[in-house]
Amino acid sequence: MSATGEARHVIGIDVGTGSARAGLFDLSGNMLAVARRDISLFREAGAIVEQSSTEIWNVVCAIVREVVASAKVDAATVVGIGFDATCSLVVLGEGGVPLTVGPSGDADRDIIVWMDHRAVEQAERINVLGHEVLRYVGGRISPEMETPKILWLKENRPETFAQAWQFFDLADFLSWKATGDLARSTCTVTCKWTYLAHERRWDPGYFETIGLRELADEGFARIGTRIVEPGTRLGEGLTGDAARAMGLKPGTAVAAGMIDAHAGGIGTVGIGGRPTENLAYVFGTSSCTMTSTNEPVFVPGVWGPYYSAMVPGMWLNEGGQSAAGAAIDQLLSFHPAAAEASQEASERGIALPVLMAEAAAGKVTHLSDAVNLAGDIHVVPEFLGNRAPFADPHARAVIAGLGMERNFDNLVELYVAGLCGIGYGLRQIIETQAQAGAHVGRVVISGGAGQSDLVRQLLADACGKPVVAPRAEEPVLLGSAILGAVASGAFGDMTAAMQALCGISGTYEPASGRVAERHEKRFRAFEQLQTCARAIRTG
């Protein structure tokens, strides 16, 4: 409550790969309403995936108006907003005019989406050069990061590169549109742009070495000269134009934002007040793992260590899987029974993986027994490469053990095998980090693909760690709302806000005995299939 007794609220805005969502929260962490709208994704040959910043901004404004109306609160009680978004590259010309970034020539398509892999060649050339800054991205830069993509633009769209006034990470674009403040978040530029937050500087030598000397010569004016921690209040709050578009008060506090997965981390790792013990696992279209440490830990194949990129004052190691929920969708789509199952799911108004989880749970007495449904099917679900711990964008999926079955039961078996594969990939990340000195005690899960009891228990059994479900229904939205709460002054700092607003709803302990033995056997098969696929590809 404010001094006058009036309730105060904050809004978290999450821009994902296929949709944007807004959640309105009170200052106890209760979500009062949520609004969601789809956003367009444009695909071209050659691993090109693009979006429109104009469309995304209009959708964001619409869902903010909608969530305030749905919550039935006075817009004047909204004291802060926070943004999170995918780590996608927004390219704007002078005055914020969108610039084309691909072969379509469509200026409205001014975003290179995180999952776009057009810059694989540029990333490989950068990695061969072996610059010192690569130590802070796990030793190898990813084509999902921004400097390879900017280098691709320079080499393939030189007019766009020359005309570009600002290159933004999507979260920073949103905070700029809301406030007019060009400040970048420590989270975005440290994790995806090679900013050295622990030294508070860009490394000019890196940009010169890789072929982007122009950015260094300009004093980094096009990628960020003022870098601030997430949750920092920007500008004078919402501008008049942004406030009118959102239906909020001008001057409403706007926070420096975060990458979407990291907002999920903020919404979860504070559980129990022990961030270093909790691995934040955001299980959505892709998956991200966030591990916080007091001192820097260098883990080959795992991004980071990044200083103050998520929890202020702590180091972050970031792993994950380039395709997670998307890998399950892709896997199911291959099966002859998928069309009929999809029709049933559609008639019930649920996603196909949700139907699969229900069916699998209905076939077993205990959720841990679900592994037996996989039979002899084994899946390495690396459809879009291995983000961690191998940092191999060329890795591809392996499916072994398929027969001639075409029925629904076999589709369930394939689904369970795919989930096990996701869990074994998570185990590899956890074990690789532990070998380097970054140990975790439990996995705190968030994201739309990880909401069922079956998924949570299978992941716990497969990775060998307890999986904790947060109290928050939407931890990513809570994370971005926490940013807005801190920017508004409702909490003194991020740590206080996390401790006050994050809680546990349940814990899924890993199985022991025969179930653990079965997972161990399947994990060894998983590793053998990975090794075999790598040998075939490179041999």
CATH of the domain at 84: 3.30.420.40
Together in a domain, 399 and 519: yes
**Domain annotation covers residue 458:** no
In whole angstroms, what is the distance from residue 63 CA to residue 79 CA?
A: 17
SS (H, E, C) 133-152: HHHHECCCCCCCCHHHHHHH
CA 256 to chain centre: 17
In whole angstroms, what is the distance from residue 254 CA to residue 251 CA?
A: 8
- pLDDT of amino acid 188: 98
In whole angstroms, what is the distance from residue 175 CA to residue 186 CA?
A: 13
Q: What is the pTM of this model?
A: 0.86
Number of domains composing the chain: 2
Of 385, 434, 421, 356, the C-alpha closest to 119 is: 385
- Indicate the residue among 258, 284, 313 that finishes a domain: 258
**Domain annotation covers residue 131:** yes
**Domain annotation covers residue 228:** yes
In whole angstroms, what is the distance from residue 428 CA to residue 529 CA?
A: 14
- Indicate the residue among 230, 258, 286 that finishes a domain: 258
Q: What is the dihedral of CA 132, 133, 138, 140, to 10 degrees?
A: -80
In whole angstroms, what is the distance from residue 411 CA to residue 402 CA?
A: 11
Asked if 491 and 455 touch (Cβ cutoff 8 Å), the reply is: no
- pLDDT of amino acid 123: 97
Together in a domain, 67 and 178: yes
Of 466, 464, 463, the C-alpha closest to 422 is: 463
**Domain annotation covers residue 287:** no
In whole angstroms, what is the distance from residue 62 CA to residue 453 CA?
A: 33
**Domain annotation covers residue 246:** yes
**Domain annotation covers residue 386:** yes
**Domain annotation covers residue 310:** no
In Å, what is the CA distance from 222 to each residue of 90, 165, 278?
12, 6, 36
As given in the structure block, the two tokens for residue 213 are 């000397």
Together in a domain, 229 and 341: no
CATH number at residue 371: 1.20.58.2240
Together in a domain, 76 and 197: yes
- pLDDT of amino acid 539: 78
- Indicate the residue among 226, 242, 258 that finishes a domain: 258
In whole angstroms, what is the distance from residue 537 CA to residue 272 CA?
A: 45
User: Which residue carries 């799911």 as its tokens?
Assistant: 345
In order, the DSSP letters of 47-60 are TEEEE-HHHHHHHH
Together in a domain, 248 and 370: no
- pLDDT of amino acid 273: 66
By DSSP bridging, strand 9-15 and strand 19-26 are antiparallel
SS (H, E, C) 446-505: ECHHHCCHHHHHHHHHHHCCCEEEECCCCHHHHHHHHHHHHHHCCCCCHHHHHHHHCCEE
Together in a domain, 97 and 181: yes
Query: How does DSSP classify residue 16?
Result: -
Together in a domain, 143 and 68: yes
User: Which residue carries 């942004």 as its tokens?
Assistant: 242
User: Which residue carries 């469509």 as its tokens?
Assistant: 106
Q: Which residue range forms the structural domain that includes residue 405?
A: 325-430+512-538
Together in a domain, 342 and 200: no
Together in a domain, 357 and 240: no
Together in a domain, 240 and 360: no
Residues of the chain falling short of pLDDT 50: 1-4
**Domain annotation covers residue 460:** no
- pLDDT of amino acid 144: 92
